[in-house]
Amino acid sequence: METDIALEQILQIRPAQKQALKKLAIESAKDLLYHFPARYETTGKAKTVVELSAGMQAVVFGRVSGLKTKKAFIKKIPMAEASLTDETGSIKIVWFHQPYLAKMLGEGSLVRLEGKVTERKGTLYFSNPKVERVDKIPRATDNLFGKEADAHTLYPVYPETRGVTSNWIYYGVQKVIQTGILDELKDPLPEALRKKYHLPGLKTAFIWIHAPKNEADALSARKRFAFEEIFFIQLEKQQERARFAKEAGFSIAINENEFKDFVARFPFKPTDGQTRAIEMIQKDFKKPHPMARLLEGDVGSGKTFVAAVTAHTVVTSRPAGQDFGNLQVAYMAPTEVLARQQFESFIQYFAHIGINVGLITGSGCQKFPSKINPRATTDISRTQLLKWVANGEIPILVGTHALIQKSVRFKHLAYVVIDEQHRFGTGQRQTLANKEAFKPHLLSMTATPIPRTLALTIYGDLDLTVLDEMPAGRKPVITEIVSPERRKVVYEEIRKELAVGRQAYVICPRINEPDPSKELALLAKSVTEEAVRLKREIFPEYEIAIMHSKMKNEEKESVMNEFKSGKIKILVSTSVVEVGVNVVNATIIIIEGAERFGLAQLHQLRGRVVRSTKQAFCYIFTETKSKNSVARLKALQTAKNGFELAEHDLQFRGSGELYGRKQWGLSDVAMEALKNIKMVEAARTEAHELIEKDPELKKNSALAEKLSEKKEIHFE
């Protein structure tokens, strides 16, 4: 039997459901099997209404009726009310602050309710219970995968989407398993590895994850799937790495004196981190194979310096067997603005040694120095630039992704630097690294704060170097966690800063309309409302504007320009300001509803005001009374860098909330497993050893097969 059999052959699927399934990326029977539960509930806890008593924490199933919304008698809190009825009786339900629940549930729907039973004046009711719509009321006698369910049977809860409920998936999976498909599946994990790490086989793992007898089995299955996924990612990355490392590269000797002179021209002393990074890179340069290295460092940690110093080593070297010409460097930046900025920095660093620097972007090309004025840049044609790059007369070429076009050819491209590498796909990185037959050394740089386990996984083909300290003398941003009572006082402090000409960002978690899918969103401040409120009640004397992702590009640009010019004093925005914004005079950032953001993201936002030597302030406004939330936010005052904060996020919020969650392309189980450094390292080590012994997996055809299958569905 084919294992990628279409689902329709097993299940009845309505057209609307088919669309919904597609949204969950489920098309085949195998896809459905790989759609794992998000969590488990015990059906054993479920009670009938007649069994309930005050103080009990309980689960009941039944039909909802009498839904209505109103304002509570005391304090006029908006609330929803309803009753739940099963065959034994009815019980009242109230939800404070969540009147939209009434609209969402729908009269007469079947639900699963979980919460505390409370008593008031002799009447029992559920107050703010968790509620979930269900298709069918499960019975303790339900046939769960052929087993009689006992009181402790775990009941899987699947990620759902409109049109496909958790229950539908549950019965779908059961049907798929009944076809006997599990006996057809080949286990891609080698038996030796399964034994070594005590991982269940594929068939067992599928049963344990979809219908576990106990938590331990479910966990064991999840661990297996996580290991499998990370192991195959590692296998792929390590294979790429091994292939790249075998290529012939430029072996570059370091001229210590020239190097020292170049470093001495900078107006600062390198940090220990920078020195270490430079040494590592230079060590790699000496080898006859290309380097592939990732340099991670917070915004402002001085990555450009590392790139410039190492680029200097390259461009002052001669091509092998030649006593003229230079090796070349390509420096790719994600935006035109950044490319231009970098072009200008490089001119400043390299002008004194008489090196030509070129700039290529979508909107034109430039060269330094100009023939007429040795201190100025000049516009040149693309054709001219490409000619000089191809014959080696321009040793340093800075650009946007215009750099990776086929028409750009180098004479001796020996070093490729990619700035803010997370903004480019892996493919673009490889295109640049593979431009010429002789492979250049590659340095990727990123400021995205991600945990080490994630970096090791998604950048498994690169060696990792971290710049973990900021240059000395940098004034840290004064960061205050502001409780509701302090709000007024803080506004007055901000007013003083604005009065001496500074500007402020105000970040809100949402744009305007409430988002019914998230309970908390209802309470979060919105950009549009907050801008009006600030203008009316707090800062009527200042120009205030808004910015968010739903605005047109021209609108955004014009707001940004007015903010840069100082016309707008306060910019109320969603987190879109996170990237690419650079307004030196904006030294204040207020973050509303801070508990809704991850620490790493808050740190990135705060980075917006670390732009000058002026003292900067970050005010973290939170409405939460929870001690844990406040303690979590306090890490912003103590953590040394964004990477440390990313680790905090991983431990305390879980991987689901990790900054940049969606862009890594990992499944939920693999993301969960990132908490487990031992497992990630084991998967990495095993993959590494395998590839060392058998680089093309000739002796491991099952692995090679799985890998090629994986590549086909690779999306980026």
Give the binding site for ligand ADP (CB under 6 A): 268, 270-271, 274, 297, 299-305, 447, 471
Q: Which is nearer to ligand ADP, 250 or 305 (CB)?
A: 305
- Beta-carbon contacts of residue 660 (< 8 Å; ≥ 6 apart): 422, 448, 450
Which residues, 6 or more positions from 60, have their beta carbon under 8 angstroms from its beta carbon? Answer: 46, 47, 48, 49, 52, 84, 86, 91, 112, 113
Amino acid at 627: K
Radius of gyration of the chain measured on its C-alpha atoms:
30
**Shortest spacing between CB 447 and ligand ADP, in angstroms:** 6
Complex with ligand ADP: residue 205 or 616, whichever CB lies closer:
616
Find the helix or strand (DSSP H, E) in which 416 lies.
strand 413-418
Q: Which is nearer to ligand ADP, 37 or 297 (CB)?
A: 297
Dihedral angle, C-alpha 492, 496, 498, 499, nearest 10 °: 130
Q: Residue 315 and residue 322: Cα distance in Å, rounded?
A: 14
What residue is closest to ligand ADP based on CB?
A: 302
Q: Measure the CA dihedral 485/488/493/499, to 10°.
A: 170
Give the nearer residue to ligand ADP in terms of CB position, either 28 or 271.
271
- Residue 151 or 579: which CB sits closer to ligand ADP? 579
What is the enclosing helix (H) or strand (E) of 330?
strand 328-332
In the bound state with ligand ADP, the residue whose beta carbon lies nearer, of 445 and 511, is: 445
Rounded to a whole number of angstroms, the minimum distance from the CB of residue 303 to ligand ADP is 3
Instruction: Please give the structure tokens belonging to residue 621.
Output: 């406004």
Smallest separation (angstroms) from ligand ADP to the CB of 271: 5
Q: From the CB of 267, what's the least distance to ligand ADP, in Å?
A: 8
Cα 109 from Cα 439, distance rounded (Å): 63
How far apart are the C-alpha atoms of 249 and 441, rounded to whole Å?
7
Sequence-distant (≥ 6) Cβ neighbours of residue 117 within 8 angstroms: 52, 53, 54, 55, 56, 57, 58, 91, 124, 125, 126
Nearer to ligand ADP, 28 or 301 (CB): 301
Other beta carbons within 10 angstroms of residue 326's beta carbon come to 23
Shortest Å distance, C-beta 346 to ligand ADP: 12
What is the Cα–Cα distance from 293 to 303, expressed in whole angstroms?
A: 13
In the complex, the smallest distance separating the C-beta of residue 275 from ligand ADP, rounded to whole angstroms, is: 9
Residue 661 and residue 526: Cα distance in Å, rounded? 23
Q: How far is the CB of 290 from ligand ADP (least distance, A)?
A: 23
Residue 324 Cβ, how far from ligand ADP at the closest point, in Å?
32
Considering the complex, what minimum distance in angstroms separates the CB of residue 618 from ligand ADP?
A: 18
